[in-house]
């Protein structure tokens, strides 16, 4: 099956560039059918509702061992290909959510299968090292080939980690260490600092803070959680820090049509940021760092303008705070640039940029001065996984070879245009299709979202779409987010829009 699929050409007839007018309407291709070089299926194929009987049985079985409240269904990863995720009941779904945005080039990509079968790589898969103390010979070269080849502007250092949360958690520690050394004027702690830190007291455990934004998500570990403000369920019952939380701009979409109002809203938030920095300094809990996502993802796909980020970066500089850009969800190409912060057009965009998900390994890039000054301060057993760097190097080759960032930009335009047409919010577009259901379509590249009238309709739509063979995700109070892989093409967009249009028609 797998080998048959490897040589299979995608024969889906593709369709573009016409308007959605009625549920039965179809995008029609004006150009010749394109052939996808990699293997893939030719569309969704559904045998049962999702979860089907096999998924339900397995959920029950796993429920004896773990909490399974969040499990959607069980997967057959062997049979999944490209943009299609196959479940254990034989349902094949077009995946626009990709394991919470973490599959860079689709399932079972042949280039990655090849890496896996290369005997030279076997040792890296079999022997997972404690990288901080016993790295393999090729580790520096592999870092140069993979992570450093896409380092953000102004950064030549990277610290690998395992997941998004542990990347951010350690990045926060790096900012605190940097800040204290700056305050001391040197990096030699006093005896009092050494003894007081052992019992969680000042001055060894100083009263410092990190400023974050309402609606932000930076992970669920203790430090990260203090900067996460997207859903109460993540935070409930967990002690936290008294750290400042600034408002994130609440913008109107499409951004270009509300430029003036949006600029005012951004100015309001920036003013609040400066007020909070001053207030927390006066409280004796100075802000060592500011952490922000280029697009608030879990919190509802909230955007802000390049100007907002440029100004925020300057505020951080002015007040001596480190500026940490969390690209765990936005990094890796989905916005049409490898890093979302590249859209800001800055030579010096950040002091720290954290990543995970599409990069396959977690970690963070940082300025030289944020390098930990002593061993074991930023440390854990694995500190990443070198086998993931090998995969990442190949993912980056595929991105370059297939010009996937250009593709994402093109595909993203088609997706956003389709979403605009479904909500018909823009002048010059046909009459609104589903104005009672949809609003605020927004996005960069394929990193797109749209609001649904309320939370329960949103959830219902997501479930209905899944039963028809489309996987999409929720975020924020009532948004649907789209997080396809970088190999999601225009014809996948058209397939999705046609199917989604039919689903929406049931709500007319
Ligand atoms: C922006 C951002 N930061 C951090 C995290 C945490 O990453 P992880 O779930 O790998 O710990 C996420 C996860 O969704 C995220 O979107």
pLDDT tens track for 140-197:
999 999 999 999 999 999 999 999 999 999 999 999 999 999 999 999 999 999 999 9
pLDDT band of residue 428 (cuts 50, 70, 90) is: low
Residue 432 carries which DSSP code? P
pLDDT band of residue 421 (cuts 50, 70, 90) is: very high
Instruction: Indicate which atom in ligand 1 lies nearest the CA of residue 219.
Output: 6
Q: Give residue 228 CA to ligand 1 midpoint distance, Å.
A: 10
292 closest CA partner among 335, 323, 333, 251: 323
Q: Return the structure tokens found at 150.
A: 């896409």
Half-sphere exposure of 335 (CA within 13 A, CB side): 24
Q: What per-residue confidence (pLDDT) applies to 508?
A: 75
d(CA 27, CA 8): 24
Candidate from 164, 221, 248, 341 with most ligand 1 atoms within 8 A of CB, to mutate? 164
Question: Mean pLDDT across the stretch 437-453?
Answer: 97
Instruction: Indicate which atom in ligand 1 lies nearest the CA of residue 221.
Output: 11
Q: What per-residue confidence (pLDDT) applies to 424?
A: 80
Q: Return the structure tokens found at 361.
A: 């390994």
Question: Mean pLDDT across the stretch 201-209?
Answer: 98
The number of angstroms, rounded, from the C-alpha of 45 to the middle of its chain's C-alpha atoms is 28
| 452-490 per-position pLDDT tens digit | 999 999 999 999 999 999 999 999 999 999 999 999 999
161 closest CA partner among 417, 396, 364: 364
Q: What per-residue confidence (pLDDT) applies to 64?
A: 98
Q: Give residue 184 CA to ligand 1 midpoint distance, Å.
A: 33
Q: What per-residue confidence (pLDDT) applies to 362?
A: 98
Residues marked as catalytic: 217, 326, 357, 381
Say if residue 246's pLDDT is above 80: yes
The number of angstroms, rounded, from the C-alpha of 488 to the middle of its chain's C-alpha atoms is 16
| 279-319 per-position pLDDT tens digit | 999 999 999 999 999 999 999 999 999 999 999 999 999 99
Q: Any residues with Cβ below 6 Å from ligand 1, and which?
A: 100, 163-165, 168, 217-219, 293, 297-298, 326, 328-329, 356
Q: Give residue 356 CA to ligand 1 midpoint distance, Å.
A: 8
Q: Whose CA is nearest to atom 3 of ligand 1?
A: 218
Q: What per-residue confidence (pLDDT) applies to 14?
A: 28
Candidate from 328, 358, 449 with most ligand 1 atoms within 8 A of CB, to mutate? 328
Q: What per-residue confidence (pLDDT) applies to 22?
A: 40
The 3-state secondary structure of 166-189, one letter per residue: HHHHHHHHHHHHHHHHHHHCCCCC
Please tell me whether the peptide bond between 254 and the residue prior to it is cis, using omega within 30 degrees of 0.
yes
| 51-104 per-position pLDDT tens digit | 999 999 999 999 999 999 999 999 999 999 999 999 999 999 999 999 999 999
Better pLDDT: 96 or 434: 96
Q: Whose CA is nearest to atom 10 of ligand 1?
A: 164
Question: Mean pLDDT across the stretch 95-122?
Answer: 97
Query: Residue 99 burial by CB count (10 A; 0-12/13-18/19+): exposed, middle or buried?
Result: middle
> 65-82 as b/e, with b when 16 or more CB fall inside 10 Å?
eeeeeeebbbbeeebbbb
Better pLDDT: 115 or 31: 115
Question: Mean pLDDT across the stretch 330-353?
Answer: 98
d(CA 38, CA 8): 8
Q: Give residue 378 CA to ligand 1 midpoint distance, Å.
A: 19
Q: What per-residue confidence (pLDDT) applies to 21?
A: 35
Say if residue 25's pLDDT is above 80: no
Half-sphere exposure of 13 (CA within 13 A, CB side): 5
Q: Strand 322-326 relative to strand 287-292: parallel, antiparallel, unpaired?
A: parallel
pLDDT over 90 for what percent of the chain?
A: 89
Q: What per-residue confidence (pLDDT) applies to 352?
A: 98
């Amino acid at each position: 099956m797998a080998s048959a699929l490897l040589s299979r050409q995608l024969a889906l007839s593709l369709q573009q560039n016409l308007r959605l007018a009625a549920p039965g309407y179809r995008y029609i291709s004006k150009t010749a059918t394109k052939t996808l070089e990699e293997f893939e299926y030719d569309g969704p194929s559904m045998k049962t509702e999702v979860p089907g009987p096999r998924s339900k049985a397995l959920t029950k079985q796993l429920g004896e061992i773990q909490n399974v409240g969040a499990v959607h269904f069980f997967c057959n990863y062997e049979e999944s290909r490209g943009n299609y995720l196959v479940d254990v009941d034989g349902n094949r779904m077009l995946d626009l959510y990709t394991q919470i945005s973490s599959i860079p080039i689709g399932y079972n990509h042949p280039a990655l299968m090849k890496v896996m079968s290369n005997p030279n790589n076997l040792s890296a898969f079999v022997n997972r090292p404690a990288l901080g103390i016993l790295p393999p010979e090729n580790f520096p070269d592999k870092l140069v080939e993979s992570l450093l080849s896409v380092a953000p502007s102004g950064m030549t250092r990277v610290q690998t980690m395992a997941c998004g949360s542990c990347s951010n958690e350690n990045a926060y520690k790096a900012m605190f260490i940097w800040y204290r050394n700056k305050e001391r004027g040197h990096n030699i702690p006093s005896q009092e600092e050494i003894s007081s830190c052992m019992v969680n007291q000042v001055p060894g455990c100083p009263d410092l803070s990190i400023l974050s934004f309402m609606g932000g998500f930076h992970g669920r570990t203790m430090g990260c959680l203090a900067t996460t403000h997207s859903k109460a369920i993540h935070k409930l019952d967990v002690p936290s820090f008294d750290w400042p939380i600034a408002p994130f701009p609440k913008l109107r979409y499409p951004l270009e049509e509300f430029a003036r109002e949006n600029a005012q809203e951004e100015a309001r938030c920036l003013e609040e940021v400066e007020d909070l920095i001053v207030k927390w300094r006066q409280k004796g809990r100075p802000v060592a760092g500011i952490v922000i996502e280029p697009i608030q993802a879990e919190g509802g796909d909230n955007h802000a303008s390049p100007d907002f980020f440029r100004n925020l970066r300057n505020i951080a500089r002015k007040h001596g705070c480190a500026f940490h850009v969390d690209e765990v969800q936005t990094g890796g190409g989905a916005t049409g640039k490898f890093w979302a912060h590249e859209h800001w057009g800055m030579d010096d965009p950040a002091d720290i940029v954290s990543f995970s998900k599409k990069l396959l390994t977690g970690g963070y890039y940082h300025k030289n001065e944020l390098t930990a000054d002593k061993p074991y301060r930023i440390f854990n057993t694995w500190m990443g996984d070198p086998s993931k760097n090998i995969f990442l190097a190949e993912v980056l080759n595929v991105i370059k070879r297939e010009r996937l960032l250009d593709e994402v930009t093109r595909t993203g335009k088609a997706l956003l245009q389709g979403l605009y047409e479904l909500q018909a919010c823009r002048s010059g577009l046909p009459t609104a299709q589903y104005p009672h259901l949809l609003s605020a379509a927004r996005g960069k590249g394929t990193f797109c979202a749209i609001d649904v009238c309320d939370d329960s309709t949103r959830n219902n739509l997501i479930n209905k779409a899944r039963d028809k063979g489309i996987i999409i995700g929720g975020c924020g109070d009532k948004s649907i987010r789209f997080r396809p892989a970088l190999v999601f093409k225009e014809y996948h967009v058209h397939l999705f829009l046609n199917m989604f249009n039919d689903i929406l028609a049931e709500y007319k």
